[in-house]
Amino acid sequence: MIDTHCHLDSEYYDGIVENTIVEAFNEGIEAILIPATDTKSLQKVENISKLDDRLFFSAGIHPHNANEYNDVTVNEINRLLKNSDCKAIGEIGLDYYYDFTPKALQIDVFKKQLQLAVENNLPAIIHNRDADEDILSVIEEMQDKSLKAVLHCFSSNKEYAQIFMDAGMMFSFTGNITFKKSNLSEIVEMIPIDRIMLETDGPYMTPVPFRGKTNHPKYIKLIAEKISEIKNMKIEEIIEMTNKNAKNFFKLIAVMFLVLIANMNFAFAQEYEDDLYYDEIRFNRPLIGLGPIFGTNTIVESYDKGSGNTEEISYDGIFAPGAKLTVTPFQWLLVDFSYLYSKNQKIADENVNTRPTLHHIFGLGTTVIFNPNNRINFGLNLGANYISVSLGSTETEPEYRNDFSINAGLGIIGNLEIGNIGLANIAIKWDIYFIMNKYTGYLKTETIPREVSTYYSVPKLELIFYPNIFNF
């Protein structure tokens, strides 16, 4: 669940804001967006968003405070827009119910801020109280400018719901849909689920049965439940859809990582873009995991024939099974101890009286993860290895050689939460092992020893399981 609108900067949360956030995340809320309302809150929402990676904010001036909109606030808003946690312009709009500021001023400030949203390619969070007609006409003016907006705490009538839907608006609902007198049920029913997001509008609009008390993000489930009841859909479906809508609408993605991917020209960036949304899978969870590795090793030997000539021999498709123990000191870093085994039977098959070469690879490795909060992680691997090699003639006892290597490569890791039992990682990795030392060997047709340089190319599949009991 994502609470797309909660005023955590409100004085109602003074002294309890940290606790409120912790409670929300413990209840399974994935993210909270804190909309700004006035000059003071512009500062506050940014500061609160720093408390946790799952907190985002928007910048804007509420119609109640339209008279605070001036060059200074515009500068401040522009400054906030540079923060990647600022996901929208809001909350802005028109409020003719309280009428705290003149209508003409409200409309002017609303228009200017919608313009800011369009210019910055950000969605707008619109507050509308008894101002359907004017909201609509302002929106219609902006229509050809590809405005993206949500009507938050939607409470207009059915006719306007239809008109706003036709205008391409998103809708978010608060605790007021749970109120007995509410006639919002038929509106919730008519708006397709792919247009709906959840919000508490805390500290206001507290859902039944907590009505009258301070609203908290943790109550968002009551709104999801009410929607599932009205729409006769499973609550899981409501949660999944509204999550998806909020992530898409507010672009709650690891922006920096997408830039990195684009620069690295990963062909799969597009394909996986949907999965790069914020999923908090590894978040706040130091882990210890264990599991098997299945790889194929291609051993490439390069024999130095003198005066700059080399001859390459490669043995490919050698099955390389192994195992790995992984610890995560930081969410962006995996440190592992691994063992990998390769038996080069081909060398024995191709040469008379030759033993298969056995490679026991003991590694100390690291994987740096660029986007630790996502369901699919991308990482760079770097490690050092001690390799015990046994080889020789079948006529004599095996000989042993100690090799040392540095490995480097890329990986893509899928995170799969398995109930309360733990986290499974399915990783596809590809590493090159550069053998740092040289050794002497014989080319098939020769009896002169040659200096040999070697590397291994090892694509592998790793299945690592992180049981919850190992969490520390």
The minimum distance between CB 200 and Zn ion, in angstroms, equals 10
Of 127 and 221, the one with the shorter C-beta distance to Zn ion is 127
For Zn ion, the closer CB: 65 or 328: 65
Residue ranges in 280-339 that form contacts with Zn ion under rule CB under 5 A: none
Per CB under 5 A, the segment of 48-56, 121-129, 308-316, 441-449 that binds Zn ion is: 121-129
Q: Which region among 85-93, 133-141, 235-243, 460-468 touches Zn ion (by CB under 5 A)? A: 85-93
Would you state the structure tokens that stand for residue 141, as one six-digit string?
């003016």
**Residue span 29-58 as binding mask against Zn ion, x where in contact by CB under 5 A, dash where not:** ------------------------------
* CB of residue 229 to Zn ion, shortest distance in Å: 24
Cβ of residue 201: shortest distance to Zn ion, in angstroms? 5
Contact region with Zn ion (CB under 5 A), list: 84-92, 109-117, 260-268, 305-313: 84-92
SS3 209: coil
Our CB check for Zn ion shows the closer of 65 and 297 to be 65
Residue closer to Zn ion, measured from CB, 176 or 381 = 176
CB of 125 to Zn ion, least distance (A): 8
Task: Give yes or no for a cis peptide into 30 (omega within 30° of 0).
Answer: no
Q: Which stretch binds Zn ion (CB under 5 A): 86-94, 255-263, 424-432, 435-443?
A: 86-94
Residue at shortest CB range from Zn ion? 127
Q: Is the dihedral of CA 139, 144, 149, 153 positive or negative?
A: positive
User: What would the two tokens of residue 311 be?
Assistant: 């001859």
The least CB distance from residue 122 to Zn ion, in Å, is 17
- The pair phi, psi for residue 8, each rounded to 5°, is -65, -15
Query: How far is C-alpha 2 from the geometric centre of its chain's CA atoms?
Result: 14
Part of the chain binding Zn ion (CB under 5 A), chosen from 126-134, 340-348, 387-395, 433-441: 126-134
Of residues 414, 470, 460, 420, the one with CA closest to residue 290? 470
Site string for Zn ion, 88-117 (x = CB under 5 A): ---x--------------------------
Report the interhelical angle of 103-119 vs 132-142 (nearest 10°): 30
262 vs 373: CA distance, rounded Å: 19
The residue range among 124-132, 140-148, 181-189, 208-216 that interacts with Zn ion, by the rule CB under 5 A, is: 124-132
Q: Give the binding range for Zn ion (CB under 5 A) out of 48-56, 123-131, 325-333, 461-469.
A: 123-131
Rounded to whole angstroms, how far apart are CA atoms 24 and 32?
9
Ranges of beta strands (E only) in 370-446 are: 376-391, 399-418, 422-435, 439-441
Per CB under 5 A, the segment of 75-83, 125-133, 263-271, 342-350 that binds Zn ion is 125-133
Minimal distance in Å, beta carbon 147 to Zn ion? 18
Report the residue number, 37 or 338, with the smaller CB distance to Zn ion. Answer: 37
Size of the site for Zn ion (CB under 5 A): 2
Task: Pick between residue 127 and residue 282 the one whose CB is nearest to Zn ion.
Answer: 127
Query: Which element (helix H / strand E) includes 324?
Result: strand 310-330
Place of tokens 């904010």: 57
Which lies closer to Zn ion via its Cβ, residue 91 or residue 280?
91
Q: How far apart are CA 346 and CA 11, in angstroms?
A: 74
Neighbours of 232 (CB within 10 A): 7
* Residue 334 C-beta: closest distance to Zn ion, Å: 41
By CB under 5 A, what part of segment 127-166 binds Zn ion?
Answer: 127
Helix, strand, coil percentages, rounded to 5, for the chain: 30, 40, 30
- Are residues 175 and 219 in contact, defined by beta-carbon separation less than 8 angstroms? yes
Nearest-approach distance from CB 219 to Zn ion, in angstroms = 15
Nearer to Zn ion by C-beta: 127 or 460? Answer: 127
CB-based contact 387:405 (threshold 8 Å): yes
Nearer to Zn ion, 91 or 462 (CB): 91
Strand, coil or helix: 323: strand
Residues 241 and 193: beta-carbon distance below 8 Å? yes
Q: Write down the least CB distance from residue 62 to Zn ion, Å.
A: 7
Q: Up-side HSE of residue 125: CA atoms within 13 Å toward CB?
A: 32
If one asks whether residue 64 binds Zn ion (CB under 5 A), the answer comes out as no
Considering only residues 402 to 441 of the shown chain, the ones binding Zn ion according to CB under 5 A are none
When the beta carbons of 8 and 276 are compared against Zn ion, the nearer one is 8
Burial annotation 10-30 (CB, 10 A radius, 16+ → b, else e) = bebbeeebeebbeebbeeebb
CB nearer Zn ion, residue 52 or residue 91: 91
* Spatial distance between the Cα atoms of 143 and 164, rounded to a whole number of angstroms: 12
Nearer to Zn ion among residue 77 and residue 287 (C-beta): 77
The footprint of Zn ion (CB under 5 A) covers 91, 127
